[in-house]
Structure 1
Amino acid sequence: DAILKMRKVLEGVENLQQRVFSKMSHALLGTPTLHASTIEGGRGLSTYPDICKLQLEIRTIPGISGSELIQQFNEILTNISMEDREFKGELTLMFERGPFEIASDTKIVQTLRSSISKFLGMETPYIGMSGWLDSEIIYKAGMPVAIFGPGGAGEHAAIEYAEVDQLSAATKVLAGSIEDFCG
């Protein structure tokens, strides 16, 4: 029963989260996260599932490499295989993007913070976020990056939105930042 055998993988993932990830920390991002996003298996009610697929999402922090993670997950699969000779597991890396960090004193960050103060009348703290954005690709290509957007609700939910007044305010901040940054 492949679904029942996947329980051992989930236990290994939970153990990795508690044993390793919970002990790591970053000043802005906190601890890395690891969760089981999807699981699927079985073909019908009266058949024993011969396959079960698990997808994990991992949000790392600077200092954790993809190769380290692959090694740790392969160790989980190897350990289960040694305990249960019927278990066959394989790891497929579907997508990898590393974390990145930009200093708070860079021109782009200071320009954006100044525009937020000017157009929204508020001081903005320098913070981090654990989600991945295409800003990492842009930054690694040598372009300055700061992340900003309108508020809203429903992040990563089926219904995600921003209010019109939030979009309008964000547009003013972005236009002002572009004008100040580019001259």
Structure 2
Amino acid sequence: MPETLTDLLAALIRLDSTNPALVPGGAGEAVIARYVVQWLTEHDIPAELDEAAPGRFSVIATVKGTGGGRTLLLNAHLDTVGTEGMTAPFDPVVRGGRMSGRGAYDMKSGLAACLMALLDAKATPLRGDVILTAVADEEHASLGMQSVLRRVTADAAIVTEPTELCVCVAHKGFTWHEIITHGRAAHGSRPDLGVDAIAHMGRVLGKLEGLGQALTARPAHPLLGHGSLHASLITGGQELSSYPERCTLQVERRTLPGETPEAVTQEIEALLTDLKADPTFHAEHRVTLARDPFGVAPNAPIVQILQRAAEQQLGAPPAVIGQTFWMDSAFLAAAGIPTVVFGPRGGGAHATEEWVDLASAEQCRQILTATLRAFCA
């Protein structure tokens, strides 16, 4: 079994954990989850599998403290996106202090740092527990995180998504919406009979464009900027010579801390209500998925302790940042667990050239260890 972070990361990259919800036939997390359990078991750290759905396994491991201390949860995800366009995605290559391969950056380096920090916790007398959750399906529906949160809780959490060794205290959420406009099918030569569902959707698009512009006029979040909205997918019509009886639009709205799915839905419903003043306009709207934004107070104990540990390791205070993309940290925060995001440097997430800076991965491990020693003492 690998004993160094570099060797452990290489072993993890060699295990295909492509999310099958993203890539039909993807390997999923079963093999890598069992490997992580075996690695932990051989290092005398109790670990178990949690099956969120058939074949979708997460790992829960705990280094027990002596009692009376705070519990810290370290989190990483096991799954990766697909490998189309990559020549040897599961063959880790080290060059110039970087390791490349699918998942090197997003986020098997964070997972490796967590695992090595768990070894450090085991070697350190602590009053509080240190928990690892290595979860399935983060890249799609977060089945793993939602499942493990039914079994574990903690006084604080660190999600080791890559942050370039910056301290991330906020990220955007999102809502997905489906809007359908209904027309009346008729021969293209009979405008007296037909109602154009696509033209009616054009009115919706105009209203949505106005809403998107209005979002930029609202007060900006200090780390995340403005919320946003865009039309993602559109389909409609039956054939060229007929009035379209139906048009379907899918919309994504990126949200800021403090914005709720309910409020966003009401804004879109208000736009449709305005259009329904035309008796020929018929539309329906539903939310297909909602994920909350994330934010933690910069003066939260876990944030302060992590910042001090990072400053000591890096020789300068780490930048405090927000991220535009969504992460499982939102589920942890929604469960009442103060959470911060911190991970190594690298690049190529979801791209054909993915790599992590190995020195930063080791620094991440050292900072996690210093943080858990202070938090769980």
TM-score normalised by structure 2 residue count: 0.42
Q: Which of 119, 132, 135 matches 2:313?
A: 119
In structure 1, how many angstroms separate the alpha carbons of the residues matched to 2:336 and 2:367? 23
Offset, 1:168: 4.1
1:16-165 map, 5 Å: 16-42=211-237, 49-83=244-278, 85-154=279-348, 159=352, 161-165=354-358
Measured against aligned partners, the alpha-carbon deviations of 1:42-87 in whole angstroms (never above 9, x if no partner) come to 456666543322222222223333222212111211222323x343
Offset, 1:104: 1.3
Letter in 1 for 2:332: I
Bigger radius of gyration, 1 or 2?
2
Q: Do the aligned residues in 2 keep the contact of 1:24 with 1:32 (CA within 8 Å)? A: no
Measured against aligned partners, the alpha-carbon deviations of 1:128-155 in whole angstroms (never above 9, x if no partner) come to 2333322122123222211122333455
Letter in 2 for 1:25: A
Q: Do the aligned residues in 2 keep the contact of 1:41 with 1:52 (CA within 8 Å)? A: yes
SS of alignment partner, residue 230 of structure 2: strand
Letter in 1 for 2:214: R
Q: Do the aligned residues in 1 keep the contact of 2:231 with 2:252 (CA within 8 Å)? A: yes
SS of alignment partner, residue 79 of structure 1: helix
Letter in 2 for 1:161: E
Residues 53 and 154 of structure 1, relative CA distance in 2, 3 Å threshold: farther
Flag the structure with higher helix content.
Answer: 1
Residues 127 and 52 of structure 1, relative CA distance in 2, 3 Å threshold: same
Flag the structure with higher strand content.
Answer: 2
In structure 1, how many angstroms separate the alpha carbons of the residues matched to 2:262 and 2:255? 12
- In structure 1, list runs of 5 or more residues that go unmatched: none
SS of alignment partner, residue 309 of structure 2: helix
Q: Which of 206, 211, 236 matches 1:11?
A: 206
TM-score normalised by structure 1 residue count: 0.79
Q: Do the aligned residues in 1 keep the contact of 2:228 with 2:255 (CA within 8 Å)? A: yes
In structure 2, how many angstroms separate the alpha carbons of the residues matched to 1:120 and 1:134? 26
RMSD after superposition: 2.8
Residues 82 and 152 of structure 1, relative CA distance in 2, 3 Å threshold: farther
The count of residues paired between Structure 1 and Structure 2 equals 181
Residues 93 and 4 of structure 1, relative CA distance in 2, 3 Å threshold: same
In structure 1, how many angstroms separate the alpha carbons of the residues matched to 2:347 and 2:243? 41
Whose relative contact order is higher, 1 or 2, with alpha carbons under 8 Å and at least 6 apart? 2
In structure 2, how many angstroms separate the alpha carbons of the residues matched to 1:90 and 1:153? 41
In structure 1, how many angstroms separate the alpha carbons of the residues matched to 2:232 and 2:242? 24
- In structure 2, list runs of 5 or more residues that go unmatched: 1-195
Residues 160 and 43 of structure 1, relative CA distance in 2, 3 Å threshold: farther
